[in-house]
């Protein structure tokens, strides 16, 4: 904050554990706009989520320090706000402006709202109404500030008329996605609360449109003469994933793997109502980390740090990319507790409902890439974690069982680990323990 001119610099706040930067997706205010405390001023996207950032100051927006699409580091200036009654730090007399504000835009009782990183002292929904009122107070560019004007609520739709499209779209990201693809939001049916159009609704409409175009478009009679290309900016979630994986590739890792007979595991799953394979594998993984704590660790500068608790990350493929929601204190959960947590976390990750805090802080990751129909994977670590366990598809194969060849349900387990935290003995011991749990779950499950 500047002291002499009383100009207030709003710095990009800490967006969650391990997140050091964010991309400016959309500005919600312009230079010259009047803002209030807790009013959302910008929508940003990190490696984990898209969030609206509220202003901690009231006044007039003097400077926006980054353009849409730019990446800004945490702690760098985001906005410069001039307090009410000043222009560039000089006290002024504010011209009288008569504004009729609808009752719906009046501020509600002060409370505690769910906003970003501790900001916010008002109920949900108030920020959007305050934003509308603040913009109504700002004269358009070139307008005479002495002119008295009135702002009235938009007329209600006539009987039988559908509500305006803007009333059914809340997220600026949804608008931007539709605009970038030339999609008319008026033709999209909203499935969100109150018929609000969600990102999934837009993606479904785009997929349907592309399918219809493919059906109507005849196949070309001759090959194209020129080779085209599509260039996509490496930013946002995709860019953050790229930077994180580049760092992970620099870690000295080693990989061990083993084929396992999962026939008895499938039989156990069928006998446990409502328990999925992933929950069982998660339980085996946590038990293995208790026996081999070397893998529940990280490297910080010249130290190996071993964690007291297991915060298990579950890799999940989503529309936004590969996300890893974290099950906190996984070593304290029962198997059914695991199932409930996993179902809720994965669903929120796929629907985009996770915040940065829910997608950071893991100590070890479990990756079920068998859902993609593959047997193995050359995985990269989910840095700064020291280990990741993967499981491939389970398929019927000839297998020697009790001295005879039978058709058994076989899968492959792979472990990638940071070779700085342990050697092959610990890594192999951990993997062999999990493999034994998979092959003989009845003998080991009672002790977990």
Residue 7 Cα to chain centre, angstroms? 34
∠ Cα 113 17 27 (to 5°): 55
End-to-end CA distance of the chain: 55
Q: Among 289, 282, 438, which residue's Cα sits nearest to residue 346?
A: 282
- Distance CA(366)–CA(150), nearest Å, equals 59
Annotation says 354 is catalytic: no
Beta-strand ranges (E) seen in 111-194 are none
Q: Are 296 and 289 in contact (CB under 8 A)?
A: yes
SS3 215: helix
How many other C-beta atoms can be found within 10 angstroms of the C-beta atom of residue 108? 13
Q: Among 117, 135, 89, which residue's Cα sits nearest to residue 13?
A: 117
> In the 8-state DSSP scheme, what is residue 193?
G
The Cα-based distances of 322 to 52, 72, 131, 382 in angstroms read: 22, 22, 34, 11
The one catalytic residue among 65, 311, 354, 419: 419
∠ Cα 80 86 88 (to 5°): 50
3-class SS letters over 246-258:
HHHHCCCEEEEEE
- Distance CA(393)–CA(406), nearest Å, equals 19
Could you give the dihedral angle defined by the CA atoms of residues 403, 409, 410 and 415, in that order, rounded to the nearest 10 degrees? -120
Question: Would you please indicate which residues are annotated as catalytic (active-site) residues?
Answer: 419
């Amino acid at each position: 904050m500047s002291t002499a001119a009383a100009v207030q610099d709003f710095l990009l706040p800490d967006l969650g554990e391990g997140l050091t930067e964010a991309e400016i997706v959309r500005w919600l205010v312009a230079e010259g706009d009047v803002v209030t405390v807790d009013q959302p001023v910008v929508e940003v996207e990190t490696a984990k989520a898209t969030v609206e950032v509220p202003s901690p100051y009231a006044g007039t927006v003097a400077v926006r320090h980054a353009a849409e699409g730019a990446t800004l580091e945490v702690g760098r200036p985001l906005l410069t706000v001039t307090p009410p009654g000043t222009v560039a730090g000089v006290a002024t007399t504010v011209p009288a402006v008569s504004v009729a504000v609808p009752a719906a835009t009046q501020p509600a009782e002060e409370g505690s709202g769910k906003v970003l990183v501790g900001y916010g002292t008002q109920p949900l929904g108030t920020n959007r109404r305050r934003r509308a009122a603040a913009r109504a107070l700002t004269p358009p560019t070139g307008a005479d500030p002495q002119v008295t004007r009135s702002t009235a609520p938009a007329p209600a739709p006539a009987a039988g008329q559908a509500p305006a499209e803007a009333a059914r779209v809340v997220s600026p990201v949804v608008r931007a996605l539709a605009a970038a693809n030339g999609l008319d939001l008026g033709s999209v049916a909203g499935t969100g609360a109150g018929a609000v159009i969600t990102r999934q609704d837009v993606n479904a409409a785009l997929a349907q449109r592309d399918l219809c175009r493919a059906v109507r478009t005849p196949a070309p009679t001759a090959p194209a003469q020129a080779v085209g290309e599509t260039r996509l900016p490496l930013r946002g979630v995709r860019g953050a994933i790229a930077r994180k994986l580049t760092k992970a590739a620099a870690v000295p890792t080693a990989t061990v793997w083993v084929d396992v007979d999962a026939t008895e595991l499938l039989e156990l799953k069928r006998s446990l109502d409502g328990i999925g394979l992933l929950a069982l594998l998660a339980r085996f993984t946590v038990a293995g980390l208790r026996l081999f704590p070397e893998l529940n660790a990280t490297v910080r500068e010249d130290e190996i740090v071993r964690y007291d608790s297991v915060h298990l990350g579950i890799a999940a493929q989503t529309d936004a990319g590969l996300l890893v929601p974290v099950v906190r204190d996984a070593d304290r959960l029962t198997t059914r507790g695991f199932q409930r947590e996993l179902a809720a976390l994965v669903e929120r990750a796929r629907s985009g409902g996770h915040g940065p805090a829910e997608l950071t802080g893991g100590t070890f990751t479990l990756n079920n890439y068998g859902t993609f129909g593959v047997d193995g994977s050359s995985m990269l670590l989910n840095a700064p974690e020291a280990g990741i366990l993967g499981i491939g598809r389970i398929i019927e194969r000839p297998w020697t069982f009790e001295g005879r060849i039978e058709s058994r349900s076989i899968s492959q387990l792979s472990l990638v680990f940071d070779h700085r935290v342990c050697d092959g003995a610990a890594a192999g011991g951990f993997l062999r323990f999990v493999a034994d749990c998979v092959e003989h779950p009845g003998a080991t499950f009672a002790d977990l």
